[in-house]
Every structure is written in C-alpha cells, then in structure tokens.
Homo-oligomer: A and B are copies of this chain.
Amino acid sequence: MDFSYSDEQKLIKEQVEKFVQNDYSFETRNKILEMDEGFDRSVWQQFAELGWLGVPFSEEDGGFGGGAIETSLVMEAFGNGMVLEPYLSTIVLSGNALAFAGSSEQKAELLAGIIGGELLMSVAYAEAKSGYNLANVGTSATKAGDAYTVSGEKVVVLGGASADKLIVSARTSGGNSDEDGISLFVVDAKAAGVEVRGYKTMDGGRAANISFNDAPAELLGEEGKGFAVLDRVIDYGIVAASAQALGEMNSSFQKTLAYMKTREQFGKAIGSFQVIQHRMVDMFTHVESSRSMLIMSSMKVASSDAVERKKAVSGAKVYIGDAARAVAQDAVQLHGGIGMTEELDIGHYFRRLTLFCGIFGSKGYHLRRFADQG
C-alpha cells in the first residue's frame, strides 16, 4: 500500500499548479469568462504544447501514459483556479471514449487531434426527458449501407457549442431504456442536419442543446454495445469532475480561513468566535474526507470489476457532492455580504460547486446506483 506520488506525477502536479497560480489569476479568468466561447483558445494551445492534453492516454496512443490518478492531479489544480478550458468534455469524456472504443483509424485521427489541441470534442448523451439515466436514449440511428445517420435531440452538452465533433449516444435497437442496443457515433458538428444552440451555464461555462436531423454519423465501437463504454467514460468523468471540485473546495476553504483570520467584527477577528472555529473544522473535514474519496475512486475507476468501479465512483460522487454543497454554502455564509457578490471569487466557486452537485447525476441517483451494486 502506497499513497505517495511518483516523481512523474509530482512533476505534472507542480507544473499545473504553478501555471494556475501564476498565469490564471482571478482577473485573468474574469477576462476569459467574457470571451465569446467562454474559454481561451490560446490557453488551450499552451496546454497542448505542455503535453497536458495527453495526460490520460497511453503512450502508444500518443499520450503521456497516465490514467485517472494523473488526470485527477491536473483537474484538482484546474479546480484551484476554476480553469474554464474544456478539458473535461474534450479530453476526459471524448478522449476516453475514443481510447476505450475507437478503431486505430479513429484514434490516429481524432485522439491525436485532441491531444494536439487541434480538435475540440464533446460527448452528447443527456436528453430532454432522460434525467441522469444514460440508458434512456430516444435519439435513433439508422443504417443505410455502410453509413449511419442519427436523429434526435441532446441537451445540456457541456462544451457542446465549441466542439468540432460530437460523440453521440443513439439507439440502434431495443426499447427506450434498454442498455442493449445503444451505440456511440462520431458526428461532425458542422454536418448537415446538426443544429447547435449554445448558451451560458451557471458557472460561466458554456453548454448546448443539439438537434440531429438525419445527420451523417460514424460508428464508434461495436454496434449496440455503446452503453458499457459510455457508462465507463462517465465514471472517468465523475472522477475528473470530483478532482476539480476538490480543488475548488480546498480553495474556498483556504480563502475562507484566511478571511476569518483577518476580518474583524465586534472588535475581534471573526475566526476567534468558537462557532466559526468549529464551522471551519467542519469545512476542513469536508475537504480532507473528499480527498480520501477522490484517491479511492481514482484508483478504483480503472478496476475491471464493474461492481467495484461503480461503487467506488458513485460512492465518491455522493460523498464529495455533499461535501461540495456544504463547503460552497458555508464559504458564502461565512464571508457574509461580500460572499454574495460577483466581485469576489467565493461566489464563483459556489456556482462551480453547485454545478458539480448535479453533474453526471445527483446525490439521489448515485446513492441508488451504489445501493444497486449490493
């Protein structure tokens, strides 16, 4: 048993942390927020040059040779600075989908494009009435000869408005909520029949509703067997999002702690009040407990035992989600009025963490998924 990082891991962690600290200040981020796409393509190119876009992928696929643990290191550091660039949608979700299910041609073209920073992608899975159930797929795919077309609508596709290509779950057979019969497809976002409505999300990011009307589509992986791939991809997404949330929580905690030490009320530092002290201990506990759950899930998400993987990931999502909610709310509450303003970073962390609670499934959804594993 060893929970220490290798030298290679430490290197990437320090590199990203340093970048966030030096080159991604709150002011810089505020400027990026105002950009049309909600992120900065020149920053993305920098990530590509530094090799960060290849972190989760094997060396033979052109990657860094890392996995969920390394990805978590990157994402946690991104969380510290609330980095806006679409790492989750392009690298973690789309990249892993390609790595898990892509043909060698698809990897050579698309995965390489992602790693190189030339290609932005996203995975479109949620539908208007699907809730969090990945198997509830109404979008359909039709085969004509060797080619497929997909029709249907996907909603709240994170990073969807800037994606060049989309990975879309669609039904090739089976009933509306059957796991069997779901297939994954790569669809060009500019293709005929694809309509993208982009919009801002609560955290300042971007998402899109995307409709497909007989849009040309290329099969990714085996026909009808897409659910297992998607389920696994989303689990990797959860671990990465949890890591980012941990960074956001830890920053919220540290900033609140610092404020409690300096801000005075009734003639003394707020942090000298015992009630505040215990609240800070609770916040600290949320952060450290979440770190344990993140370590656990980033190790076990790679398990070949699906039950072990799902328990680890859903357990972590439940736990870290609760912690994120508590930390976000308390950071605002303890800051008082100033915590309610756009001017301060605290409110931005609050919204990022609020979004985290709902991403890839609510607490209720994952508690049930955990319990379903027995």
Rounded to whole angstroms, the CA-CA distance of A229 and B278 in the bound complex is 50
Contacts of A278 in B (CB 8 A): 275
1/0 per position for A254-291, CB-CB distance to B under 8 A? 00000000000000000001110010000000000000
Chain B's closest residue to A272 (CB) is B274
Complex: how many Å from CA A199 to CA B278? 44
> In the assembly, what is the distance between CA of A278 and CA of B278, in Å?
12
Which residues of B lie under 8 Å from residue A273 when comparing CB positions? 274
Closest 5 CB pairs of A and B: A274-B274, A274-B275, A275-B278, A275-B275, A273-B274
Query: In whole angstroms, how far apart are the Cα atoms of A278 and B273 in the complex?
Result: 12
Closest to A277 in B: B275
> Which residues in chain A, 9-39, are within 8 Å of chain B measured between CB atoms?
none
Q: Tell me the complex Cα distance, A274–B278, Å.
A: 10
Q: A373 to B275: give the CA distance in the assembly, Å.
A: 40
Interface size on A, residues (CB 8 A): 4
Q: Which residue of B lies closest to A273 (CB)?
A: B274
CB distance from A315 to the nearest CB of B (A): 22
A-B contact pairs, 5 of them (CB 8 A): A273-B274, A274-B274, A274-B275, A275-B275, A275-B278
List of B residues within 8 angstroms of A275 by Cβ: 274-275, 278
Most central of A273, A275, A278 by chain B CB within 10 Å: A275
CA distance A275 to B273 in the complex (A): 9
A274–B273 alpha-carbon span in the complex (Å): 7
Alpha-carbon gap, A273 to B278, bound state (A): 12
- Nearest-neighbour CB distance to chain B for A333, whole angstroms, equals 14
Within 8 A of B (CB), among A223-278: 273-275, 278
- Residue-wise, chain A 162-175 has the 8 Å CB interface mask toward B (1 for contact) of 00000000000000
Residues from 274 to 317 in A contacting B, C-beta threshold 8 Å: 274-275, 278
Residues of B within 8 A of A274 (CB): 273-275
In the complex, the chain B residue whose C-beta lies closest to that of A274 is B274
CA distance A275 to B274 in the complex (A): 6
Question: How far is B273's CA from A273's CA once the two chains are assembled, in angstroms?
Answer: 9
- The minimal Cβ–Cβ distance linking A290 to chain B, given in whole angstroms, is 24
Over the window 336-362 of chain A, the binary record of Cβ atoms lying under 8 Å from chain B Cβ atoms (1 yes, 0 no) is 000000000000000000000000000
Q: Which residue of B lies closest to A276 (CB)?
A: B274
A285 CB to nearest chain B CB (Å): 15
B-contacting residues, A126-183, CB 8 Å: none
**Nearest CB of chain B from residue A205's CB, rounded to whole Å:** 36
**Nearest CB of B to A368, in Å:** 16
A289 to chain B, nearest CB (A): 21
Roughly how many angstroms separate A278 CA and B279 CA in the complex, as a whole number? 12
User: Smallest distance from the beta carbon of A273 to chain B beta carbons, Å?
Assistant: 6
- Give A279's nearest chain B residue, CB to CB: B275
| Smallest CB separation, A277 vs chain B (Å) | 8
- Which residues of A193-247 are within 8 A (CB) of B? none
How distant is the Cα of A178 from the Cα of B278 in the complex, in angstroms?
Answer: 52
With the chains together, A273 CA to B276 CA distance in Å? 12
Distance in angstroms from A313 CB to nearest chain B CB is 27
Q: What's the least CB distance linking A269 to chain B, in Å?
A: 14
- A271 smallest CB distance to B (angstroms): 12
**Smallest CB–CB gap between A334 and chain B, Å?**
14
